[in-house]
Amino acid sequence: MANWLTMRASINYVGNTSRVVGIRVEAENIRTGVSKHCNSSYFTMVAKDENNNSVKAPGLLLDDTIEIQRFLKAIKRLEMKKNHQSEFDIAGFILQDCLTELERYNVKVKLK
């Protein structure tokens, strides 16, 4: 089956030196014309100068409701990421608690 892929990108968030770009991928069946959403992803780009030092990123102009929603969702994702990272901070990592948690999954642990 042949599909025509369309990717749409938007800048969803701009911080001091970085920006988050959202990508939406849709596949359209060439024979039937039926289109469906098949993937979404986000990636972060960091502004760099010629010496590879981070530099201030240009600001973002939000000029419609959807752009405002995307920006606010990006802020929420960043907060969730920070919380998630601190949850697994090595200083607070208790191996036995995690091994008990893993018993519910299809995984074997074999430590060296």
| pLDDT tens per residue across span 58-107 | 999 999 999 999 999 999 999 998 888 877 776 677 788 788 888 889 99
Domain count of the fold of the chain: 1
Distance CA 77, CA 83 (A): 10
Residue 111: inside a domain: no
Provide the whole-model pTM. Answer: 0.70
What is the mean predicted confidence (pLDDT) over 37-58? 95
How many CA atoms does the CB half-sphere of 41 hold within 13 Å? 7
The per-residue pLDDT for 11 is: 95
Q: Which domain holds residue 68?
A: 3-102
Q: Collapse the DSSP code of 81 into the 3-class scheme (helix H, G, I; strand E, B; otherwise coil) and give the result.
A: helix
